[in-house]
Amino acid sequence: MKKQQLPLLFLSFILVLSACKKGNEEIDTEYPTIDVTGSAFPQQCAVIKRGEKFIFKAKLNDNVELGSVSIDVHHNFDHHNHSTEVNECNLGAVKQPVKPFLLIKDFPIPSGQKTYEMAQEVTVPADVDAGDYHFLIRLTDKTGWQTLKGLSIKIN
Amino acid sequence: MLLFSTFFCHGLFAQTYTVYGVVTDGTHQALEGITVKLSNTHVFAISDAQGKFSFQLANGAYELQVNAMGFHRVKNKIVVNGKAMQLVLKLQPHSYLLNEVTIKNNAGTERRRSESLNVEVVKADFIQRNLGGSLMNTLQRLPGIKTIGIGSGQSKPLIRGLGFNRVVVIDKGIKHEGQQWGADHGLEIDQFAAEEVELIKGAASFAYGADAIGGAIHIKAPAQPAPNSFGGEVNLIGKSNNGLYGTSVRLFQRKEKLFFDGRFTYQNYGDYRVPTDTLYVYDFAVGLHKNYLRNTAGRETGIHFNTGYINEKFKSIFYLSNTFSKSGFFANAHGLEPRRVDADLHDASDRDLLMPYQKVNHFKIINRTAFSLNRHAVEFELGYQHNFRQEYNHYVNHGFMPAVYPATMTIPIDLEREFDKQVYSFNAKDQITLGKHLLQLGLNGELQDNLINGWSFLVPAFQQKSLGVYAYDKWKVSDKLLLHGAVRYDLAKLDLFRYSDWFSSETNSGSMMQLIRANDLTRNFNSLVWSLGLNYNLDLLEFKANVGKSFRMPIAKELGANGVNYHYFSYEKGDPNLNPEQSYQADFSVAFTTGKWSVKLSPFFNYFPNYIYLNPTSAHDYFYGAGNQVFEYAQSEVMRYGGETQVKYQFSKQWSTELLAEYLYAEQLSGDKKGYTLPFSPPASALFNVTYAPQKFLGSADAYFSLDYRLTARQNNIVPPERKTAGYSLFNLQAGAKLQIGQYPLNINAQLQNVFNTRYLNHTSFYRLIGLPEQGRNFVLTVKMPFNFHHH
């Protein structure tokens, strides 16, 4: 009797497992991409003038559907690091901020898009501190995958 | 129902007398979980943690019988003659056991045979042989046990893929509170002070409280020293990878009834090394100086003092402990946020501790009082804990925080976070022997007070009260069959407190205001859970099954988080309306044991109608989230299944081999992430071991040489924000011996971890997201010198 139970138990274990096998529907595991080459602006080490407007341009892509995009421009006078680019820019000396430029803005992307050309006008006030800044782009897709792009720029 | 059926049947007895006994091994160590039988009857008793058991017997002659695996059979004739009596049953181990490289002793085996949940018991010698960076790191050699690595030697337990608040850690009977706070927060447990650890895989809510939805790790109170003993031990430890050195010194003394037992542990380590010279933190290349991870050095101290009074029927023991650690965070990524560091400053020394770093102190005082009265074994535990954790970092103005830290602030400029947790606990338990029934009635109460400080915010301060009562019956139907049934009822109240920012944020209209991150919130929870199980034990075959329901109430973070976690570039948003998490679990286990073979298979199936998880959405939040991606706490239906297998084969007296394997599958069946797995799902893995244990080696007994080969599969089953992880294989070597230097025994254990300095990524590590590889080759040496003062 002892010997007969073992195979039975193994069998029931296999049955339990196989009963749970599911028809695996495809899930999205790809990150969206931010293309800051070509006509994109700003690019790594770009220089922006105070008191002027510029157009933030980037090409956004995803394999299924894009989510939303957010930009964050903040000073880098303390030489912290968010850069995702390989080549570094010449940084100015470390200094205390007085009135640093700060811009945090999120932009929805029309639904159903796999590619999107971002073009948003940004104004830099004339009275902000000049110096090294970070231009951080955060992009999500519909599933919630997020890609970061951290650019070092200068405001003169 | 079956709990109470026996109350009445066994109410009346003839005049009986108590027979007290203690089960010990050859070295007077108490043996727990040993079944003592009254020959030719169905009456039995199981020894407790102190090796004690008792019978109620009428006048007459009896025979006590112990037939424990690994020990020679003991038969002891007694005569009850009008009064209570005491006796000691001393078990002699089979001689082959001395050479067998097994981590569990027989008490553990007995415990497994009489417990319907999946239980693993490990002892101090297992910890010594497999010593890792932390207790959890050491335990992850066991199948089904993994850790969530947090970098600098800290890790959180993960049982069958469930971690954080789904695993309860019990220290000396009291729920250890602290590690649930932050994601990058370890377990403040001194592994040198852990003599025995019991791991319960699977829902154990009915006995360990609501949070034990995934399992429990029970660090047992150390055994008391033997009567009239006076001695101690010195441990020395060294590790090559991070230049760790440390010591743990123990001193104990016991007269007849009074004893003390003290221990002091100190460890000091430098930055650890990984097999790479360049890392890519969010694609940004970080060069490593001589493979050192900048600023991962640390120091730890542990102080333990136990004292108490013991006699045959009563004992009361105080356990006092304080663990302190100061450890650095990898400087180029605090959490995951990349930052520029002064490489010259950091690389000047691999032992200094600079910003960012954390300081954690855990103070604990516990009293355990137990006494036996007729058929009752009563136990009380009272505990107070204070967990104090501070994270220090240079001020960084994230989002709308002012560029320059205001001079008017009372929070220190470098205090990023502070968590101050005080916990009062109370447990009461009565174990009643009623013929073939062993009935346990219990009560657990807890009061928590949690305060926060620091210039960053994630979770509000909160207060938590909980009370649970349970009844558990173990019914020995026959020699082969044990049935278990349990019910538990819990009540809990959670109060979250209002928090508003100390700085102003820009609103949509362009005006500035201080945001209210959390409002006062009160939630009440209650739940009824149950569990049913069976053990069917034949000579060579053991079968166990358990089904049950568990519950977990949402934690403060899940209800009230409302801040930016720069470790993930995420804005974490709690949901104040979350329901308590419910779980249904079925566990099975089949074990087959002969002299040479031991095979065990433990599958499980688990279903959550509403699993709480942090869901990364496609949205960004400008106002509360400073432009970061919104991560929302959400609930979804989840199915999980998997299992572990353990196969051992003893070729000969000297050679043995072992295979440990585990598999887990998890899938969300509803919600935003339908079709995806759960975060931190460990990939399938297998561990092959070969051990050579010569009978005699250079005059030493108990020598062993052992090779572990761990094969881990790739993990492609991921959910945002995880990344796929490639498979890898690792080799670890262990060797050790017990030497006799004069009259002093010397226990030496050595390990070579990651023999080939393999570069691999651990899927369940926090730093997996920035591609931080695990520790490289590491040589670990521990020496243990027990000593005895003879006194007259």
pLDDT value for A85: 64
pLDDT at A5 over 60: no
- B397 and A74: CB-CB below 8 Å? yes
* Weakest-pLDDT range from B524-533, B553-562, B652-661, B783-792: B783-792
Q: How far is A86 from chain B (nearest CA, A)?
A: 6
Partner-chain residue, chosen from B590, B667, B716, that has the shortest CB–CB distance to A9: B590
pLDDT at B8 over 50: no
Contacts of B632 in chain A (CB under 8 A): none
pLDDT at B521 over 60: yes
Tell me if chain B has a CB within 8 Å of the CB of A17: yes
Find residues 51-80 of chain A whose CB sits inside 8 Å of chain B: 67-72, 74-75, 78-80
B443 vs B189 pLDDT, higher one: B443
pLDDT at A80 over 80: no
Contacts of B622 in chain A (CB under 8 A): 70, 104-106
Tell me if chain A has a CB within 8 Å of the CB of B397: yes
- B720 and A6: CB-CB below 8 Å? no
Interface test mutation site (partner A, options B416, B620, B668, max chain A beta carbons within 10 A): B620
pLDDT at A12 over 60: no
Tell me if chain B has a CB within 8 Å of the CB of A138: yes
Output the CA angle A22-A25-A28, nearest 5 degrees: 135
Instruction: Tell me the three state secondary structure of residue B450.
Output: strand
Separation of alpha carbons A6 and A13, rounded Å:
11
pLDDT value for B184: 60
Strands A103-108 and B597-621: unpaired
Give the confidence band of B286 by pLDDT, cuts at 50, 70, 90.
confident
A to B CB pairs, distance under 8 Å: 133
Average confidence (pLDDT) over B615-634? 90
> What tokens were used for B525?
């929870």
pLDDT at A66 over 90: yes
Q: B500-513: b or e for each residue (b if 16 or more CB lie within 10 Å)?
A: ebebebbeeeeeee
**What is the DSSP secondary structure assignment for residue B362, as one 8-state letter?**
E
Helix H or strand E segment including B136: helix B135-139
Give the confidence band of B493 by pLDDT, cuts at 50, 70, 90.
very high
Average confidence (pLDDT) over A104-128? 88
The DSSP annotation for B194-223 comes to: -SEEEEEES--HHHH-TTTTSEEEEEPPPP
Separation of alpha carbons B467 and B210, rounded Å:
10
pLDDT value for B488: 93
Contacts of A71 in chain B (CB under 8 A): 627
> What's the pTM value of the predicted model, to 2 decimals?
0.82
- B641 and A16: CB-CB below 8 Å? yes
Average confidence (pLDDT) over B491-500? 94
B628-638: pLDDT as tens digits? 899 999 999 99
pLDDT value for B108: 62
Contacts of A82 in chain B (CB under 8 A): 282, 338
Residue with tokens 């663990």: B323
> What tokens were used for B259?
């004893």
- B618 and A20: CB-CB below 8 Å? no
- B403 and A138: CB-CB below 8 Å? no
pLDDT value for B96: 37
pLDDT value for B483: 93
- A2 and B616: CB-CB below 8 Å? no
- A104 and B643: CB-CB below 8 Å? no
pLDDT value for B790: 61
> What tokens were used for B767?
């730093």
Separation of alpha carbons B599 and B648, rounded Å:
6
Q: Which residues pair with B379 in a beta bridge?
A: B370, B429
Interface test mutation site (partner B, options A133, A146, A148, max chain B beta carbons within 10 A): A146
Contacts of B618 in chain A (CB under 8 A): 67-68, 140-144
Side-chain-side CA neighbours of B101 within 13 Å: the count stands at 30
Tell me if chain A has a CB within 8 Å of the CB of B396: yes
Tell me if chain B has a CB within 8 Å of the CB of A150: yes
Percent of chain B with pLDDT over 70: 92
Give the confidence band of B14 by pLDDT, cuts at 50, 70, 90.
low
Separation of alpha carbons B117 and B14, rounded Å:
36
Interface test mutation site (partner A, options B534, B604, B607, B629, max chain A beta carbons within 10 A): B629
**What is the DSSP secondary structure assignment for residue A28, as one 8-state letter?**
-
Separation of alpha carbons B507 and B623, rounded Å:
7
Q: Which residues pair with B385 in a beta bridge?
A: B364, B423
- B284 and A74: CB-CB below 8 Å? no
**Cα A49 to chain centroid, rounded:** 25
- A143 and B618: CB-CB below 8 Å? yes
B324-370: pLDDT as tens digits? 999 888 888 776 666 667 778 888 888 988 888 999 999 999 999 99
pLDDT at B710 over 90: yes
Tell me if chain B has a CB within 8 Å of the CB of A83: yes
B1 vs B598 pLDDT, higher one: B598
B533-573: pLDDT as tens digits? 999 998 889 999 999 999 899 988 899 999 888 777 789 99
B401-426: pLDDT as tens digits? 888 899 999 999 999 989 999 999 99
pLDDT value for B120: 85
Contacts of B638 in chain A (CB under 8 A): none
Chain-wide mean pLDDT for chain B? 86
B92 vs B686 pLDDT, higher one: B686
**Cα A85 to chain centroid, rounded:** 13
* Weakest-pLDDT range from B84-88, B255-259, B269-273, B726-730: B84-88
Q: A64-93: b or e for each residue (b if 16 or more CB lie within 10 Å)?
A: ebbbbbbbbbbbbbbebbbbbbeeebeeee
Partner-chain residue, chosen from A71, A80, A85, that has the shortest CB–CB distance to B396: A80
- B675 and A27: CB-CB below 8 Å? yes
Tell me if chain B has a CB within 8 Å of the CB of A120: no
pLDDT value for B386: 95
pLDDT value for A3: 44
- A148 and B617: CB-CB below 8 Å? no
pLDDT value for A21: 45
Is-contact B426 B381, C-beta < 8 A? yes
pLDDT value for A90: 77
- A2 and B592: CB-CB below 8 Å? no
Partner-chain residue, chosen from A25, A81, A144, that has the shortest CB–CB distance to B617: A144
Give the confidence band of B2 by pLDDT, cuts at 50, 70, 90.
very low
CA torsion angle B137 B138 B139 B143 (round to 10):
90
